[in-house]
Amino acid sequence: MAKQWHQLEKLDHKALKKLQAERERQKKQAAAEEARKRILITSGIVLFGICICIFGFFQIKAKSNAIDYAKERETYYVYKIKEITGNPQYTRMGVWETIDENTQQNISEIETGFRTNEKETIIVTLQLDNEIKLLENGEILVKRPVLAENENKVESEELDLVSGEITVAITLDGRDLLTINIPELDIVVTGKSGLFKVIFNQKKQQGEVVVKNGLVEVTRGNDTKKVTGFYKVTFDRNKLSKPTQASVIQYDWR
């Protein structure tokens, strides 16, 4: 009987030790699980903080880029007055003012008019270095350039020849961009390349386009004439002539 009780006590002792070991194992597992959770939570907080910092950085960078983009875009509306002779004038608000040699206007908001009197000239340089020289007793209206919608790139330049004579020099970068309108006669001159003149006698309501070199298109309605070097076209209220040979040495190309 005593032996049986001894065996039972021995069995109970083993069971107790096994139960204690199991409890210790569970406790260690619980502690390890708790530690893993703390690590995950800490890692999550750190990762979230890093994401916030990265997001903030890119937000700041995007804002900075947008500001830089807008500032750069404004520069694409700026043209320069390269050279003047005499005292030509300009207007942006209906009041004519004398131009200083260092005058540089920004046409991002409104059009700018220029006019000359006797023995006065002015050379205006557009964004891509296309040049317009207005000779004496003339007037032009430079319009706002058209930029690409999603990039800082000039898509077209435009001006009206109100009266007088202009000499136009098209650069390699400025090809196919510049349009010169003579609204009174519904004439549109597109400077494809080279050096050419557009002349409009407002009193007589007639004019001509003379090309020294390069290519120019002259359009009225559905009628378009291509004019190349040493050729010209004439126009008035009733017609746009075919291109004919021109004696370009008779014109002032300076």
Name the least confident of 21-30, 200-209, 212-221, 238-247.
21-30
Domain tally, the chain: 2
**Among 187, 191, 230, 194, which Cα is nearest to 210's?**
230
DSSP 122: E
Identify whether the C-beta of residue 198 lies closer than 8 Å to the C-beta of residue 180. yes
Segment 184-231, tens digit of pLDDT = 999 999 999 999 999 999 999 999 999 999 999 999 999 999 999 999
End residue of a domain, out of 38, 57, 75: 75
End residue of a domain, out of 75, 110, 132: 75
Identify whether the C-beta of residue 210 lies closer than 8 Å to the C-beta of residue 170. no
Whole-number Å distance between alpha carbons of 40 and 51: 16
End residue of a domain, out of 51, 75, 99: 75
Q: How confident is the model at residue 56 (pLDDT cuts 50, 70, 90)?
A: low
Same domain assignment for residues 140 and 186:
yes
Same domain assignment for residues 88 and 204:
yes
Give the domain extent around 141: 80-250
- What's the whole-model pTM score? 0.77
Q: Compare 75 and 198 and report the one with higher pLDDT.
A: 198
∠ CA(135), CA(192), CA(218), 5° rounding?
70
**Alpha carbons within 13 A on the beta-carbon side of 13:** 6
